[in-house]
Amino acid sequence: MIISPCISICKTDPATGFCYGCGRNNEEKKIWKLENTTDEWKQENIKIIKKRLTGWQLESFEESYTYKIENGISLFKKNLKK
């Protein structure tokens, strides 16, 4: 199972249409939720969104997504619980 790249920073850049947190557009977010979306598509989508993000956005995404994979919760949600 491929974990969703959502890191709970759900705000869309009006200029690009990409989420500031995960780098996906609204269509990609919908596809992730479909029952018949393949793991291959999801893996490819993660590669694509990582190419969209740069600098601090990419670093923040990598750190939070890795934490989410390892702990089941994004860093943002973890910090809300404190």
For 39-51, the pLDDT digits (tens) are 999 999 999 999 9
Q: One-letter amino acid identity for 54?
A: T
pLDDT classification of 11: cutoffs 50, 70, 90: very high
Q: One-letter amino acid identity for 10?
A: C
Rounded to an integer, the average pLDDT of 11-30 is 96
Query: CB neighbours of 58 closer than 8 A, spacing ≥ 6?
Result: 50
CA 81 – CA 73 distance, rounded (Å): 11
* Contact in structure between 8 and 76 (CB atoms under 8 Å): yes
pTM: 0.89
- Picking from 18, 28, 27, the residue whose alpha carbon sits closest to that of residue 52 is 18
Percent of the chain surpassing pLDDT 90? 88
